Amino acid sequence: MTDSLLIERSGATLTLRLNRPELHNAFDAGLIADLTAALRQAGNDPDVRVVVLAGEGRSFSAGADLHWMRGMAAASEADNRVDALALAALMRTLDELPKPTIARVQGAAFGGGVGLVACCDIAIGVDTARFGLTESRLGLLPAVISPYVVAAIGPRQSRRWFATAEQFDAAAALQMGLLHQVVTAGQLDAAVAGQVSLLQKAGPIAAASAKRLVSQVLASHDRDALDAANADLIARLRVSAEGQEGLGAFLEKRSPSWAADA
């Protein structure tokens, strides 16, 4: 692990902070490897209930480091494929992480930085943030991050922004669904803390499983099979220790055990 990623722990909340502010938190192979490893470790840590992804300095992430891209431009197609698969593994790890995730977007996000935002379950950005899928200006496309960006903003919007490389502001990101909330810089930490508090009041298994449920609903083309799977899920949750505690707390008008410190 290098100093390009800062790992901060506060109770059950883990903050992963991109720490290359002089390069606008741009990716290189080292940062991709470090962030992937930290996410996998968080996913396996039962004491972590929420992961916040943040950036140090003025930018959230400018995407690929230009020096790194220059090196990859001189590499073979096979080497570029290996490199792209490493970024794909990062995005998929974040998207499928068995913990709720929050993107704390304090500044600009471009290219792969937009991908990170799209992969998080909740995205909160400042009103001055700028965004762009700028790869087409270089004769490239945001191919690796495309599944997550298309899922976030939809195919119609994606076709425009992928092709034009035009930048857009936080208001447009909110309207398209890339951001869930836009706040001033002074309100950002409170807004993130508010979402963390809500997540920590929810059942840990329920909150962590929400994204899997959404993915299964979207992937299913068999309504009978989906109905059966969802009936199995709710039945299993109702009789689980967490479900019993949650229902009991509600009926007894008390906080459930997992929310005691929230």
What confidence tens digit (pLDDT) does each residue in 194-217 have? 999 999 999 999 988 899 999 999
- The answer on 209 and 160 residing in a single domain is no
Number of domains in the chain: 2
pLDDT of residue 260: 53
What are the distances in angstroms from CA 135 to CA 99, 118, 167?
A: 30, 16, 11
Query: Residue 65: pLDDT band by 50, 70, 90 thresholds?
Result: confident
- The answer on 185 and 59 residing in a single domain is yes
Residue 50's domain comprises 5-199
- The answer on 209 and 188 residing in a single domain is no
- The answer on 231 and 187 residing in a single domain is no
Domain ends where: 199, 228, 251?
A: 199
pLDDT of residue 262: 53
Three-state DSSP class for residue 177: coil
Does 40 have pLDDT greater than 60? yes
Tell me: the pLDDT tens digits for 220-252? 899 999 899 888 888 898 889 988 888 888 889
- Round the average pLDDT of the chain to a whole number and report it: 93
- The answer on 226 and 176 residing in a single domain is no
Ordered DSSP codes for 103-136: EEE-SEEETHHHHHHHHSSEEEEETT-EEE-GGG
